[in-house]
Amino acid sequence: MIQEERVIREFMELVRIDSETRYERQIADTLAAKFAELGLTAKEDDSAARTGHGAGNLIVTWAAEGAENAPKLLFTSHMDTVVPGRGIQPTLHEDGWITSDGTTILGADDKAGLAALFEGIRVIRENGIPHGQIQFVITAGEESGLMGARALSGDLLDADFGFALDSNGELGAIAVAAPTQVKIHMEITGRSAHAGVNPEDGISAIQVAGKAIARMKLGRIDKETTANIGSFAGGGPTNIVCDHVELVAEARSIVQEKVDAQVASMREALETTAREYGAEGKFRGELLYPAFCFNDRDDIVQLASRAIGSLGLTPRTFHSGGGSDANIFNGLGVPTLNLAVGYENIHTTKERVRAADIVKTAELVVALVQEAARGQVLKGDGRLPQ
């Protein structure tokens, strides 16, 4: 049913459109036009006014046809890319891999997902495949910290299960868990003095920061929790006791209570040390996105596993160490998994994807829709019939 030449041609077209994060206007307009060609209306939300990005999120709702009682599905991919992503020249090699010319990224993250979604829609239409209601949410600003999804209103969503097509790894892999992340900003203000004449009158913010960091447990905290300091800025001439430094850090965990505890311990280390040395310590933590965690028995995982198995692939669940739009959709009340698309070396000029994997991802979109329609009616407890 999938037309390989068509889906690969569309992928090549999409990656040639410049869409570095914050500059999504052209790709958003192109995607909206493609949905219109398929008889679907893409509505753009007002998030661009809040995020400063070139476009808002696109939301498309496709009414049920022939399977009105099927669970409502949501598919999501993002429209933006990382840099360097201007002037991408893709090449399909004889071995089946698609790459850029090596001067830019390829943009398979996440235009492989976008191409697969459009092909899936065409195949469902062309073959009259019964389906329940399907929403497509194409986000802007994913690569700049999930900005588009974070600005999305949950009132726009209407789905029982969601699937993000935005994970690296071999097809069949299912990210069933991903951590929450707290971004941490720390400031230490000491007192300046001449470093050679009267250093004892000064309070070195650098020294206080170093002592505070030494009290913090960082790196791998446990199998579900990590913490890291990413930048340490401040200072000046060596003859002046430094009176101000700023640190930027993060903490992550799949378990909310654990990340809360980690953030609290880092705050305590900073504030206690600052008091001991007579400095001022400021600590601010910002929740960027919530965690999610499913197990193999959950119905959304069972649905995905059956669809993957129907394609002759082996479903494999794993816990991701990074966040994605799937975190946001889970936080907005739509149980969402992140599915592997097969691309490799993302965010580098060596990024690549197999043409066959884009085709297979399109097949997976159709299989997920068919599997959901096969269940038809949700049980009273929100589970799919077996």
Q: Reply yes or no on whether 286 is catalytic.
A: no
What are the backbone angles phi and psi of residue 92, rounded to the nearest 5°? -95, 115
Q: What is the largest CA-CA distance in the chain?
A: 85
Q: Is 209 strand, coil or helix? A: helix
Q: Which two tokens stand for residue 25?
A: 């206007």
Catalytic residue among 10, 109, 119, 142: 142
Catalytic residue among 10, 20, 24, 80: 80
Exposed, middle or buried, 277 (CB in 10 Å: 0-12/13-18/19+)? Answer: middle
What are the backbone angles phi and psi of residue 138, rounded to the nearest 5°? -105, 115
Q: Residue 233: how many CB atoms within 10 A of its CB?
A: 9
CA-based radius of gyration for the chain: 24
Residue corresponding to tokens 């990413």: 230
Q: How far is CA 2 from the centre of its chain?
A: 27
Strand partners, 281: 188
Task: Name the pairing type of β-strands 280-289 and 180-189.
Answer: antiparallel
**Is 347 labelled as part of a ligand binding site?**
yes
Long-range contacts of 346-351 (CB under 8 A, 24+ apart): 346/105, 346/108, 346/109, 346/168, 347/82, 347/105, 347/109, 348/105, 349/84, 349/100, 349/102, 349/103, 349/104, 349/105, 350/99, 350/102, 351/99, 351/100, 351/105, 351/106, 351/107, 351/108, 351/109
Backbone conformation region of residue 298, classed left if phi is above 0, alpha if psi is from -120 to 50, else beta:
beta
Q: Reply yes or no on whether 109 is catalytic.
A: no
Residue positions forming the annotated binding site for Zn(2+): 347
Catalytic residues: 80, 142
Residue positions forming the annotated binding site: 347
